[in-house]
Amino acid sequence: SRGVTTRPAEVEPFARARDLPGNARKPDYRGGVGPGMGTRASSREQHADSRSIGDTVQRQRVKEAARSPAASAESIMAGQVALSRTQVCGILREELYQGDAFHQADTHIFIIMGASGDLAKKKIYPTIWWLFRDGLLPEDTYIVGYARSRLTVADIRKQSEPFFKAAPDEKPKLEEFFARNSYVAGQYNDAASYERLNSHMNALHQGPQANRLFYLALPPTVYEAVTKNIHETCMSQTGWNRIIVEKPFGRDLESSNRLSNHIASLFREDQIYRIDHYLGKEMVQNLMVLRFANRIFGPIWNRDNIACVILTFKEPFGTEGRGGYFDEFGIIRDVMQNHLLQMLCLVAMEKPASTHSDDVRDEKVKVLKCISEVQASNVVLGQYVGNPNGEGEATKGYLDDPTVPQGSTTATFAAVVLYVENERWDGVPFILRCGKALNERKAEVRLQFCDVAGDIFRQQCKRNELVIRVQPNEAVYTKMMTKKPGMFFNPEESELDLTYGNRYKNVKLPDAYERLILDVFCGSQMHFVRSDELREAWRIFTPLLHQIELEKAQPIPYVYGSRGPVEADELMKRVGFQYEGTYNWACGLSVPTPTVEGNCPGLFAPAPITEASPQPDADNQLPLTPARPPGLGAELRLPPRTLQERKMDPGDRGGPSSPSAGGDRGALGGVGGAFVKEAGGAGRGDSV
């Protein structure tokens, strides 16, 4: 019986008495269930007890080093003691379960709705395998696939196993994993199909009482029917029930609210996990630690010191035959409204009261409420065309994809400027840009600081920048000025490099889905999107999306493999981003590159180290003289500065020597209509 335990609820990460039907227990503020309403403190204690993987590894290394007579104090502090994957996973498992085997006996059923799809085969099944292999799932866990296709477990295995990247010595464990898999075929809107699914789950060990986790790897068009049938037919009788909902969460504010209201009528907020996999990435999670665990950043993280913030998501490939699905949503819905906006929140939010999930999400919502709706004059849209000098897919444009409707005006690139209208950030442009078929794969946050007031070096100094690279080659580095070695007193740009490949040479970073799915098992919602977050995000972008669709705005063409439309670079410059020239990394500097994606042969197995120079700082390479190309018409004119802008201290915005660096909102007005196709706006084929 679940009621016989005397352990407090806050130290039961997998089998807390939560999500129970009826009113047997009252929900706490976190969404969990405890003996009464006043349980928020205990849930915070539980959250604090869920150690990060990095902390666990470091503590275990210290323990191992301390036991070794040959270990030095330096090796203990540096964490240089090598551990096997088994050792590290064992310690992590011990902390997850708090040494209590009772809770491992509880049955958990992980149901993949849409098990025949690409997401299931490429991400969900491999992720569950990695967690199972490393012993990070509850012992008695079953995986049930559900889809319309008539498949068997053997079919599922054939489709998904190539993405497991299992080592030869893991074959026995792999057989054990698939022995816990089963599959049920059925329709998404047929009650009888769900009856069969529920009967199948009840037939499993402790099936009626098992905790049930439903992953909706489905198109949003069937969410309402699926969630309704799950609620009516497939819920656990005494265990908890949780659902994971994949983006997109609607198409605009109205459809998102309709979907949210429907799901809220069936499930409590603490049972709903809206997944944005970028919130599971190492460097995105690191943003909070960088900001709130380092005193040096506190005094400078504001409008007085930061000139602009650039949030970038770039993919080097196009739709590659999958444009039909992409065309329905476009790049803003696919990337900007969720991934980039979540990253913006973590950069701009105030310090939360704690790391409790609701405290963090409360602060993110406050940031979103301070952002006005996007104005069309602050937007550049683009669509890639084939590169005549390219090879293979690079020769094809978006409209050459046979799955894309003829004449589609869907944007594959977008640059948008947002402003957070509060005391900390007033006047600072947040530049969001994302696109497909660009010159590189990169996701990063770049903070460019203001010019130094009272320049004594005759404009030889460049702006400082702090860059958090999310992918690839996770890194944090600062660009700063130092004296150039030699006889002369000349400043030179240098870097403070905190590349993960240097500091954590033998650690493989877990995949984002591993972190997030494990969070759902543990009941932590910190890295998931709450309903009010979702509502505010759609409020910001919905008017722009409706305007684009109503006017059928023609995106600016850009060449496959380029940086995107040149108009986007102009927009960035006019709102405050200052081009500093190509950045040259120190000669001979090499960075070991950790393996991140795929996570093979093991989560914590020593990664093969390869020496590779850091990538050029490509996103700070705007044209030296970004003049408008022939045919684009007259030069842009800036409207007069407003009274509020004139009152701003020039020193805060870069000083008199750099009038364009000021983050003036007036500078945006001249870009009006920039997201409409104009002659000569085909972009350029460079890859800087």
Write the Ramachandran bin of 525: left for phi over 0, alpha for psi from -120 to 50, otherwise beta.
alpha
Residue 528, sorted as left (phi over 0), alpha (psi -120 to 50) or beta, turns out to be beta
Q: pLDDT band at residue 485, thresholds of 50, 70 and 90?
A: confident
Closest CA to 574 of 512, 626, 613: 626
What does the pLDDT average to over 338-356?
93
User: So what's the pLDDT on residue 232?
Assistant: 95
State the angle between helix axes of 531-551 and 357-369 in degrees (0 to 180), rounded to the nearest 10. 30
> What are the tens digits of pLDDT across the range 408-425?
999 999 999 999 999 999
Run of H or E including 569: helix 566-575
Least confident of 85-89, 300-304, 555-559: 85-89
**CA gap 203, 147 in Å, rounded:** 19
* pLDDT: which is higher, 628 or 460: 460
pLDDT computed for residue 346 by the predictor = 94
Residues 6+ apart with CB under 8 A from 492: 481, 482, 483, 484
Alpha-carbon distance of 404 to 419, in angstroms, equals 34
Residue 629 and residue 82 in contact, taking contact as beta carbons nearer than 8 Å: no
| pLDDT (0 to 100) of residue 85 | 59
Q: Say if strands 591-592 and 611-612 run parallel, antiparallel, or are unpaired.
A: antiparallel
Q: Which domains does the chain have, with CATH numbers?
A: 2-211 (3.40.50), 280-671 (3.30.360.10)
pLDDT of residue 463: 80
Q: Categorize the per-residue pLDDT at 508 as very low, low, confident or very high, splitting at 50, 70 and 90.
A: confident
Burial class of residue 150, CB neighbours in 10 A (0-12, 13-18, 19+): exposed
Helices (H) and strands (E) in the chain, counts: 20, 19
What secondary structure, in 3-state letters, does 504-518 show? Answer: CCCCCCCCHHHHHHH
Q: Which two tokens stand for residue 458?
A: 């005759």
178 pLDDT tier (thresholds 50, 70, 90): very high
Mean pLDDT of 350-376: 93
In angstroms, the CA 215 to CA 113 distance is 6
Confidence band, pLDDT 50/70/90 cuts, at residue 117: very high
Rounded distance between C-alpha atoms, residue 86 and residue 189, angstroms: 44
Nearest to 661 by CA among 480, 465, 491: 465
Give me the percent of the chain exceeding a pLDDT of 70: 66
Reported as a pLDDT band with limits 50, 70 and 90, residue 83 is low
Q: Does residue 79 register a pLDDT over 50? A: no
3-state SS record for 3-38 = HHCCCCHHHCCCCCCCCCCCCCCEECCCCCEECCCC
Greatest pairwise CA separation for the chain in angstroms: 84
Q: Which two tokens stand for residue 419?
A: 């402003």
Closest CA to 177 of 120, 216, 122, 139: 139
Averaged pLDDT score across all residues of the chain: 74
Q: What average pLDDT does this structure show over 181-190?
A: 95
Residues whose CB falls within 8 Å of the CB of residue 325, separated by 6 or more in sequence, listed in order: 403
Confidence of residue 601 (pLDDT cuts 50, 70, 90): very low
Q: Is the pLDDT of residue 279 over 80?
A: yes
pLDDT at residue number 453: 80
The CA distance from 357 to 629, in Å, is 49
pLDDT at 592: 35
| pTM reported for the whole predicted model | 0.73
pLDDT of residue 23 exceeding 50, the answer is no
DSSP state at residue 420: B
The β-bridge relationship of strands 272-275 and 306-314 is unpaired
Supply the DSSP symbol for 446: E
Q: What is the pLDDT of residue 95?
A: 61
Residue 218 is encoded by which pair of tokens?
């489905």
In this structure, the strands spanning 379-385 and 306-314 are unpaired
Question: What's the pLDDT score for residue 36?
Answer: 32
Which of 200, 339, 356, 527 is catalytic? The answer is 339
For residue 306 the two structure tokens come to 């930061």
- pLDDT mean over 201-220: 92
pLDDT of residue 321: 77
CA dihedral 129, 135, 140, 141 (to 10 degrees): -30
The question of whether 231 is a catalytic residue gets the answer: no
C-alpha dihedral sign at 48, 51, 54, 57: positive
Q: Residue 98: what pLDDT? A: 55
Helix %, strand %, coil % for the chain, to 5? Answer: 40, 15, 45
User: What's residue 398's pLDDT?
Assistant: 93
Q: Is the pLDDT of residue 648 over 90?
A: no
Across the beta sheet with 491-497, the strand order is 491-497, 475-483, 465-471, 442-449, 306-314, 429-435, 413-419, 379-385, 556-559
Q: Rg (Cα) of the chain, in Å, rounded?
A: 26
What is the rounded average pLDDT of the residues 72-92? 51
Distance CA 470, CA 472 (A): 6
**How far, in whole angstroms, is CA 5 from its chain's centroid?**
37
Residue 345 has pLDDT above 60, yes or no: yes
Q: According to the model, what pLDDT value does residue 82 have?
A: 53
The per-residue pLDDT for range 534-584, each reduced to its tens digit, is: 999 999 999 999 999 999 889 999 999 999 999 999 999 999 898 765 555
